[in-house]
Each structure stands twice: as structure tokens, then as C-alpha cells.
A = this chain, B = another copy of it.
Amino acid sequence: VRVAVLGAGSWGTTVASLVCRTTGDVVIWARRPEVAEEITAQRSNDTYLPGLRLPRALKATADIEQAVSGVDVVIVGVPSQGFREALTHAAPLIRPWVPVVSLTKGFESETLRRMSQLIEELVPGHPAGALTGPNLAHEIMTGQAAAAVIAMGDDHVAIALQRLFQSGLFRVYTNDDVVGSEVGGALKNVVAIATGMAEGLEAGDNTRAMIITRGLAELTRLGVAMGGRAETFAGLAGMGDLVATCMSPFSRNRHVGEELGRGRKLDEILGEMKMVAEGVKTSSLVLDLARRYHVDLPICESIHSVVEGRSTPVDAYRGLLRRTPGHESQSD
């Protein structure tokens, strides 16, 4: 099996390295030639995975035609706002029947589409899906146990891909709820900003657990309205991913929240980061989705107003606590 991974960020490179264990033939497409060169020649990717050694079999190129032509599986790990462009270039090069799997957690700004919807639009007729779950790149690269979900409508393809992705302590479950799996992965980044913000304000573990739980309830309401299943949000792609992101000191979105909570400005925080914090963009898109699907999302609204600079973290936090709680499953 030959595999192409589009995108040489930390997660794209990690998944490419994982897949190298089950098939020796993996090539990464990097937008920047110097990154492709570094991966192939030095077996490292110091911008995104500093200090880690990549597998010998892993190749990289900045030429998308060379990367995609003739492969049996295409994996796309470029950020949500560059996803369409990269896949548009790759699409004519992809052979018939080849499944296309997204690693990206977010929505396209203009269309509010999920990444697998972009796959269906740009590579119609191909099995489209997403690999998602509580996966911190650095831990997986260093061999820690982890679990992920391969979300695909077609069970046969999902089971074949499960075998491709799974090895060692990296366990892969299948889930045919593609909508729920993708929405869970995208929206958890907004809740991660919220818990980070609570931490920046020096809140305790109770408070963080409350935000995580009420945040997940929000995501589930929206996700179910969009066509996902509630149980998916209680699984690895929802709760699992959310918990890992909120616990990990490595999460970019949590980091953004923490710095906002300490009173710093968004531009300043983002200016210091090498990687994209998808949650910042998603916090605005999620409110468009909430309006479209008529769902009330108080936590996401508060985060958005802080991100936009319209309120301070302390105000946002107080506002949330002012709401009167009612029955747990119906209210905020």
C-alpha cells in the first residue's frame, strides 16, 4: 500500500510516521521545500516536532504531483483554511477508488463545511473520512499508548484503514458517524480555549471539570442538530479529545486560552506561535453554525467575545456563572 500525507505539520508528520510501521511506502507533501528536504535528508522536522527522529522509510517532497500520483491512500493534514487549495491541486492526480482521509479539525470559513465535505466536493465518489481522537503528536511519536477513531460511512473501507493506522500502542476504533466525529474534533478546540482561560484565571479542578462538562454538552447539542449522534460526543472524538486537550500542557488552543486568561492580547499570543490554533477561527464559525441550527452556546459565545476583544476573561467568566441552572439536560 502506498500512502501520501499532505501537510508536514506536527500531526501530519506523526501520522505519516505511524503509517510507516504498517507500510513502508509513505511520502509527505510539504508546502515548503526546506521542510521536505529536512525530513528526507535529516530525518527530522524541527519546526513542528523538535528533537524527534523520524522513520528511515519516510520520504518527503514539495512537489504535490510526485507525492500523490499512484498512491492508494491520501491523507490530508493541512490546516482547515488551506485544505481546499491543497486538495484542489491533488484531486486530478488521485486514482479512482482511493480513499481520502482528513486529519484536520475545523470548518472552512466561507462555507462552514467540514473537511470530509470538502473531500466529497473536490474528489467526488471517493470514500471520504476523518482520523480523529485524543492524539497529542508528541506523545504518540514517543510511543505512549493512545486511541483514535477512523470515521467513515463505509465500514469496509474503515476496517481496511484501521489496519493501516493501527500499530503498537496506537489503537484505532471505527465509527460510522462521520458528522459527529468531525464536529467533536473541531468544536473541542473552543472548549479547550475556555478551560485554558479558567486556568489562566487560576480556577481549580472543579471549575475546569465544570467547563469541560458543560462545554461538551454544548458541542453535543450543536453536533446532534447538525446530524451527529450524541454517543459519538461521549466517545474518543468528543470527550476523549477534549479531555486530552484540556489536560495537556502541549495543547495550542489551551495555551491561547491560558494566555488570554492572564490578560494578554490575542495578536501577541498568536504572534509567538509557530502553529495554527484552530480553535480561534472555530470560535467564530461555531456561532454561525449555532445560528444556522438554532442552538444556544453560552460558553462558545463567551469565548468568542474574549477572542474578539469585546469582553475580558473575567467578565466572560462571571457572565457564564450568572445564568440560572435548571434541569441538567435541558439548560445551560
Contacts and interface: CB of A to CB of B under 8 A. Distances in A.
Given A213-B239, A240-B213, A321-B171, A144 B203 contact: yes
Contacts of A212: 239-240, 243
A321 B169 contact: yes
Interface string A212-252: 11101100100000000011111110011101100110100
A32 B65 CA distance: 78
A139 B205 contact: yes
Identical copies in the complex: 2
Interface in A305-332: 321, 325-329, 331
Given A134-B213, A205-B136, A217-B234, A175 B329 contact: yes
A80 to B, nearest CB: 22
B134 A210 contact: yes
A48 to B, nearest CB: 17
B173 A326 contact: yes
B234 A147 contact: no
A328 B207 contact: no
Given A206-B135, A240-B210, A329 B235 contact: yes
Given A174-B326, A204-B136, A231-B230, A209 B241 contact: yes
A70 B39 CA distance: 76
Contacts of A231: 230, 329
A207 B325 CA distance: 33
Given A145-B203, A174-B327, A205-B244, A210 B230 contact: no
Interface string A134-148: 111001101011110
A149 interface: yes
A236 B207 CA distance: 11
Given A208-B247, A230-B230, A247-B247, 18 more contacts: A134-B206, A144-B206, A145-B321, A147-B213, A171-B321, A171-B325, A173-B326, A173-B327, A174-B327, A208-B244, A209-B247, A212-B239, A212-B240, A212-B243, A213-B243, A230-B231, A230-B234, A231-B329
Interface of A: 134-136, 139-140, 142, 144-147, 149, 162, 166, 169, 171-176, 203-210, 212-214, 216-217, 220, 230-236, 239-241, 243-244, 247-248, 250, 321, 325-329, 331
